[in-house]
């Protein structure tokens, strides 16, 4: 029997447009606000951005998620407390690390609570009882993106925003492919 994957990283284009102060893209506002820092950090050649570069992917994903954007353009599955994308210092591979709310340890007395699920499905800390809040750290190299290599102008505009949205959408798919089964298993153990 095929397993149904519930845990999903995804983008929310509808919310992004509906909540945009410029009527175009809320995510685009965050990109514009911080583009200068990326350009200084990335050390671009010829004023072009390679949208498959790890620096671009790290930067766009960080701006698409909490704590920079709340709620994020990229939405994380319930129970994922933190996600980071970065470059492996040894081989240059694109890596991701997730901190996930784990199951309440077995054998604890009943008064010890674990993570509780709120109505929205997000973990929240129990209030007055003793807590045993376990977390699981998942880290892996992301599945390589086999899409075409593309460069864009480093000037802010619709092309840069669309390229950033495409990059974040691609990263969400790669995170789902890499971590989806592990997240489903952790969620089934916690439920």
Q: Is residue 5 part of a domain?
A: no
* pTM, to two decimals: 0.86
Of the candidates 6, 190, 13, the one whose C-alpha atom is nearest the C-alpha of residue 105 is: 190
Q: Specify if 109 maps to a domain.
A: yes
With respect to residue 2, please indicate whether it lies within any of the assigned structural domains: no
Say if 135 falls within a structural domain. yes
How many domains, in total, are found in the chain? 1
- Assigned domain for 170 exists: yes
List pLDDT tens digits, range 49-92.
999 899 999 999 999 999 999 999 999 998 899 999 999 999 99
pLDDT confidence band for 189 (50 / 70 / 90): low
Q: Is the dihedral of CA 149, 43, 69, 126 positive or negative?
A: positive
Which tens digit of pLDDT belongs to each residue from 111-147? Answer: 777 776 444 444 455 456 677 788 999 999 998 777 7
pLDDT of residue 59: 95
Residue 3 lies in a domain: no
Residue 96 counted as domain residue? yes
**pLDDT tens-digit map of 137-177:** 999 999 877 777 788 999 898 999 999 999 999 999 999 99
pLDDT at res. 131 = 73
Domain that holds residue 115: 10-190
**130 occurs within a structural domain:** yes
């Amino acid at each position: 029997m095929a397993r149904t994957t519930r845990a999903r990283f995804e983008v929310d284009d509808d919310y992004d447009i509906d909540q945009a102060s410029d009527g175009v893209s809320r995510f685009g506002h965050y990109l514009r606000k911080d583009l200068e820092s990326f350009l200084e950090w990335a050390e671009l050649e010829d004023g072009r951005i390679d949208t498959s570069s790890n620096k671009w992917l790290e930067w766009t994903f960080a701006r698409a998620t909490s704590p920079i954007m709340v709620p994020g353009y990229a939405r994380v599955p319930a129970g994922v407390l933190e996600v980071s994308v970065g470059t492996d210092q040894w081989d240059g591979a694109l890596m991701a690390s997730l901190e996930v709310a784990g199951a309440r340890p077995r054998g604890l007395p009943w008064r010890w609570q674990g993570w509780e699920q709120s109505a929205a499905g997000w973990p929240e800390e129990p209030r007055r009882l003793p807590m045993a809040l376990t977390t699981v750290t998942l880290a892996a190299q992301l599945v390589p993106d086999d899409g075409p290599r593309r460069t864009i102008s480093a000037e802010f505009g619709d092309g840069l925003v669309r390229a950033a949205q495409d990059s974040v959408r691609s990263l969400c798919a790669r995170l789902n492919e890499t971590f989806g089964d592990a997240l489903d298993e952790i969620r089934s153990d916690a439920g």
